[in-house]
Amino acid sequence: DFSCIYNKDLLPALSGEDTTKDFFQELVNILLSYVCKSFRRSSKVLDFHHPHQLREGLEGFSLELPDQPENLEQLLVDCRDTLKYGVKTGHPRFFNQLSSGLDVIGLAGEWLTSTANTNMFTYEVSPVFILMEEVLLRKMQEIVGWSEEEGDGVFCPGGTMSNLYSVLLARYHFFPEVKTKGMTALPRLILFTSAHSHYSVKKSAAVLGIGSENVVVVKCNDRGKMIPAELESSIITAKDQGCVPFYVNATAGTTVYGAFDPLNAIADICESHGLWLHVDAAWGGGLLMSKRHRVKLQGIERAWSVTWNPHKMMGAPLQCSAILVKKRGLLKDCNQMCAEYLFQTDKHYDTSYDTGDKTIQCGRHVDVFKLWLMWKAKGSEGFGSQVNKCLENAEHLFDKLKQRPDFELVFKSKPEHSNVCFWYIPPSLRNMPPGPERNRRLHEVAPKIKAKMMEQGMAMIGYQPLGDKVNFFRCVFSNPATQTEDVDYLLEEIASLGHD
């Protein structure tokens, strides 16, 4: 019973050691119980409440901050409630996001990371983690296919930041004067990305002062892949207009369709026009770990930079995202500010390991330890099997959908990644001819089913419209806990919630 014990009784209080151990023991019990529940199919994925309900406080769970300290018993109750009203993203029936799953070793790594509570900017405060980052980046560069003489990189907070780095570095590579003189010293720059690519490319252009209107959106085929001929003609048009193309983003695993752009054809165009090629493999990068599927990223070795998020397909706990850069030294030249209070050059060790000055952050979270530990636990081959299993689940879903008259696939070909996109067609729409009225009604189906599904809490899946396609479900698999029985369950759940 911790009802008479307070924060002041824990370490660093004198004789606080036993109380601290007891408190942590209790907390670990709460966390372990949550971990076990996350894998149990009989438990809910979520216990949904509207924001105003949670804000007002549920069953004594108050978000308000007190003036006087509360006892540790209350804090443990708060910890339990925080997990209770959250979403179990490790549940085998959570299909909502590209990042899902609860990797036990990864979680252990995250716990250790928080315990160490250090900063990735200098070797002097993070000696082991800095070297682990170097080892991981080298391994990932090798898997991408770069030579030993090439390659640099950092782990940063998510794929959007990784993509932002790529635009920043490309601009600096061609126009180093931008670092001191700013955009006024530069011509009108243009970058290219496909219609199915992630919105972070446009966001990067906006953040970096290039302007989102200077991002040319290249057409895709029906499958969501960039059409190389369209890219080439867009580049020529931009040049004819007096603009300066400098950067092309190709996507390896688009967010919604899971499509892979034809990297070699795009690399040929970039080479002939002298443009920086970035490959956004935030989602698809994990397939490089699979002997069976890595062929889908053929040509990635020709990229100048690569985004790869191990927190997606490799199941590392959030966050874990790398920007890999082929040209060594560029990150440092582009971002270095030489703050003397932190990056002294007269330290007694090799200060090239003070990697913080390569980044656009100052303080940087340790994102590497959990991935390093997972890699030790699974080996590269273990990651490969994990990826294969997720894609097998996607194929199972695809096969089931093909057989069922109450569902319709958004595209008929086999999924390349683990994304499967489909509509549920309620009985009232099944015999309706295609046209605006059917589209209007079909557009309302997925949000209604999802709302009911969230209220019931037994599964979770995302939906979106895309181009001329009205709202459809996107099921993605990145959780190794998911089995084909969960896929079958999902279809039955959608059909029963959506039946009118």
Cβ-based burial of 39 (10 A; exposed 0-12, middle 13-18, buried ≥19): middle
The closest of 398, 403, 433, 427 to 413, measured between CA atoms, is 398
The closest of 362, 330, 495, 331 to 422, measured between CA atoms, is 495
* Residue 147 CB, nearest approach to ligand ABU (Å): 30
Cβ distance to ligand ABU smaller for residue 97 or 439: 97
* Residue 394 CB, nearest approach to ligand ABU (Å): 15
Does position 159 interact with ligand ABU (CB under 6 A)? The reply is: yes
Cβ distance to ligand ABU smaller for residue 98 or 252: 98
* Residue 159 CB, nearest approach to ligand ABU (Å): 5
* Residue 312 CB, nearest approach to ligand ABU (Å): 7
Cβ distance to ligand ABU smaller for residue 99 or 305: 99
Cβ distance to ligand ABU smaller for residue 235 or 459: 459
* Residue 99 CB, nearest approach to ligand ABU (Å): 6
Does position 98 interact with ligand ABU (CB under 6 A)? The reply is: yes
Does position 97 interact with ligand ABU (CB under 6 A)? The reply is: yes
- Specify the stretch interacting with ligand ABU by CB under 6 A; choose among 94-102, 167-175, 296-304, 363-371: 94-102
The single residue listed with the structure tokens 């601009």 is 171
Q: Give dist(CA 260, CA 135) in Å, integer.
A: 28
Determine how many CB atoms are found less than 10 A away from the CB of residue 218.
26
Q: How far is CA 486 from the centre of its chain?
A: 23
User: Quick one: which of 126, 141, 194, 255 contacts ligand ABU (CB under 6 A)?
Assistant: 255
Cβ distance to ligand ABU smaller for residue 144 or 475: 475
String of DSSP letters for 269-296: HHHHHT-EEEEEETTTGGGGG-TTTGGG
Length in residues, the chain = 500
Cβ distance to ligand ABU smaller for residue 159 or 480: 159
Site track for ligand ABU across 45-84, x = CB under 6 A: ----------------------------------------
Strand, coil or helix: what is 63?
Answer: coil
* Residue 476 CB, nearest approach to ligand ABU (Å): 7
* Residue 89 CB, nearest approach to ligand ABU (Å): 10
The closest of 320, 377, 380, 340 to 120, measured between CA atoms, is 320
Name the CA dihedral angle for 368, 34, 159, 182, rounded to a multiple of 10 degrees: -80
- Specify the stretch interacting with ligand ABU by CB under 6 A; choose among 92-100, 163-171, 206-214, 405-413: 92-100
The closest of 17, 95, 16, 34 to 390, measured between CA atoms, is 95
Does position 307 interact with ligand ABU (CB under 6 A)? The reply is: no
String of DSSP letters for 389-427: HHHHHHHHHHHHHHH-TTEEESS-SPPSSS-EEEEE--H
- Specify the stretch interacting with ligand ABU by CB under 6 A; choose among 91-99, 236-244, 290-298, 368-376: 91-99
Cβ distance to ligand ABU smaller for residue 245 or 286: 286
Does position 228 interact with ligand ABU (CB under 6 A)? The reply is: no
Number of residues that bind ligand ABU (CB under 6 A): 5
Q: Which neighbouring-strand residues pair with 421?
A: 474
* Residue 397 CB, nearest approach to ligand ABU (Å): 17
Determine how many CB atoms are found less than 10 A away from the CB of residue 295.
10
Contacts of 460 (CB under 8 A, 6+ apart): 45, 46, 87, 93, 94, 95, 96, 453, 454
* Residue 287 CB, nearest approach to ligand ABU (Å): 16
Cβ-based burial of 67 (10 A; exposed 0-12, middle 13-18, buried ≥19): exposed
Segment 459 to 488, residues that bind ligand ABU, using CB under 6 A:
none
Positions in the binding site for ligand ABU (CB under 6 A): 97-99, 159, 255
